[in-house]
A and B are shown apart, each in its own frame.
Chain A
Amino acid sequence: MLNKIWLALVAIGLVVAVGKDVNDEVRNTYRNGIPFEVQWEPKTPAPLGNRWEGNIVVSASAFNQFYGIVSQTEEVRQPATITVVHSGNDLVSLPASDASPALWRQISKSAATKEKLSATIAAKNAERKTISIVLEPIRFVKLKAVTQAALDFANTAVQLALGLIGVMALWLGLIKIAEEAGLVYLLTRLLRPITARLFPDVPADHPAIGAIIMNTAANMLGLNNAATPMGLKAMEELNKLSTKAGTATNAMVTFLAINTGGLILIPATAIAVRAASGSTNPGIIIGTTIFGAFCATAAGVVASKLFQRLPNYKKDLLPETVEKREPRHE
């Protein structure tokens, strides 16, 4: 299942990216090669040397009309530098900034020089008040974005994993003490009536149960730093009970269902964002969130119990059928 979903995510991503780029090319979404008439508002009356700084000004309606969009609402005032070229067309460089229109900001990411659009001046009137610029051709916006994302996210993954080392070490150390002192065992005895039903395959006083309880409690309190190490500890203990390496056991999936349900008492992140965006009652979502997370967790647990009986998933747990592999000779 994960194989197919993983493949689908990548394949759909690539196909959609190619589709959008072809569509952009056919419709010329970025108006490649078409002159755009804009106002030139210089900062100095004449160029200094061969450089001339100023603003390119376009009304919102003219911008929208040129690109066939409706999203630009404010007059465009784009800082720009003209480079006067004696033999040939003058060049304009438009660095992307907060002042740039959203569309230009977006396409500047796929420009030849990142975050900077360049253009040539195709025509100008006598006082150079109105100039006609042709922006550099913009192509393969989505394919470039997808490539960048692939590299960026691979990096993010490593950073996330390495970022876990410190908290992991801290909590695994503390849990080990609690385990040796018999505290974890005490905890498991307390909640045995519930855990025995949820995890019938796990012996009632197995350390895995203690870790599962601690993980769930930490999650409910929103202590993410502590929850992940405890969850991974639980997985490690559950893995010790597994008879088949590399395959998820029923208990693992039920535990994961509880985790992805995300039971939480105070959704701190959502409340903080609500407060920051000026809500009069940021905490109003506490009740609704508890209800939503409860639905998710309950549905997940029930689904895990039902699905584990399906023959298709059951057979994966059976020991490998005797299928002797010939040693490879190379």
Chain B
Amino acid sequence: MSELFRTVVNFISIIAIPLMIAAFLGWGFSKKVKVYEVFVEGAKEGFNTAVRIIPYLVAMLFAIGVFRESGAMDVLVSILSPATSFIGLPAEALPMALLRPLSGSGSLGLMTELMKTHGPDSFIGILVSTMYGSSETTFYVLAVYFGSVQVKNTRHAVPVGLIADLFGMLGALMICRMLFNV
């Protein structure tokens, strides 16, 4: 069942982009859109958008880099681990939960490392790989998306993003404990 689902979704993922390109162009052509001219018109914005993001992304990644390299994460883990072990989160997986919203590459590295140490099919291995997929890198998304429209006052976006992360991690922990914790 899960195998079939995987095959189907993988197939859709592969054909999605060529299909979309064909549909957009075909539909446009049939509606007498001047496809080439319109494409170039739209594509012009690509450069400006990318460049607009730069200051926001530099600000965000620089702060995250300083935080990560200082070893502050270890301090945070040692403070929080008594509380989190109470809800059944193994101390080894706590850094994953904390790093996930901050850094995509960092949490990918951490997941790989934990999988090597504990084995991918151990409870910790399954839990951290579930956690990795259960949330996006909130601060990166925040910087890129708001940066592209020059929004500086993000209002409630940060608490909302962090609540989403928190529930993603709790959901991952809950379902993994139900299904795989022996």
Contacts and interface: CB of A to CB of B under 8 A. Distances in A.
A296 B47 CA distance: 32
Interface of A: 1-2, 5-6, 9-10, 12-14, 16-17, 20, 142, 145-146, 148-150, 152-154, 156-158, 160-162, 164-170, 172-178, 180-183, 218, 221-223, 226, 228-229, 231-232, 235-236, 238-239, 245-248, 252-253, 255-257, 259-262, 264-271, 273-274, 276-289, 291-300, 303-304, 307-308, 310, 313, 316-317
Interface string B39-73: 11111111101110110011111111111111110
Contacts of B159: 1, 303, 307
A265 B4 CA distance: 13
Given A157-B58, A261-B168, A283-B3, A181 B24 contact: yes
Nearest to A221: B13
B145 A9 contact: no
B90 to A, nearest CB: 15
B28 A252 contact: no
A164 B49 contact: yes
Given A173-B40, A221-B9, A260-B135, A313 B155 contact: yes
Contacts of B125: 274, 277, 279
A168 B145 CA distance: 13
B135 A304 contact: no
Contacts of A294: 171
B71 A17 contact: yes
Given A161-B53, A239-B149, 17 more contacts: A14-B70, A160-B61, A162-B54, A175-B42, A176-B41, A177-B24, A223-B16, A246-B150, A259-B145, A260-B141, A260-B164, A262-B134, A292-B134, A292-B175, A303-B156, A303-B159, A304-B160
B85 interface: no
Given A146-B70, A173-B42, A231-B145, A295 B20 contact: no
Nearest to A255: B145
A44 B101 CA distance: 54
Contacts of B167: 295-296, 298-300
B115 interface: yes
Given A177-B35, A292-B135, A266 B49 contact: no
B153 A269 contact: no
12 contacts: A6-B60, A176-B39, A177-B38, A221-B9, A235-B148, A253-B156, A255-B145, A256-B160, A261-B164, A264-B133, A276-B112, A287-B2
* Main DSSP-derived SS at the B contact region: helix
B170 interface: yes
Given A152-B65, A260-B135, A300 B160 contact: yes
A277 B112 contact: yes
B43 A173 contact: yes
B64 A153 contact: yes
Nearest to B21: A174
B165 A145 contact: no
Given A12-B67, A257-B160, A289 B172 contact: yes
Of A218, A265, A267, A296, most B-chain CB atoms within 10 Å: A296
Nearest to B31: A181
Contacts of A142: 69-71
Nearest to B156: A307
A13 B158 contact: no
Contacts of B39: 173-174, 176-177
Given A13-B66, A262-B134, A281-B121, A291 B161 contact: no
A164 B13 CA distance: 21
Contacts of A158: 54, 57-58
A228 B175 CA distance: 29
B71 A20 contact: yes
Contacts of A270: 111, 129-130, 132-133
A151 B30 CA distance: 51
Contacts of A313: 155-156
Contacts of A175: 24, 42
Contacts of A261: 135-136, 164, 168
B77 interface: no
Contacts of B47: 165, 168-169
Contacts of A266: 6, 9-10, 13
B99 interface: no
A295 B168 contact: yes
Contacts of B5: 286
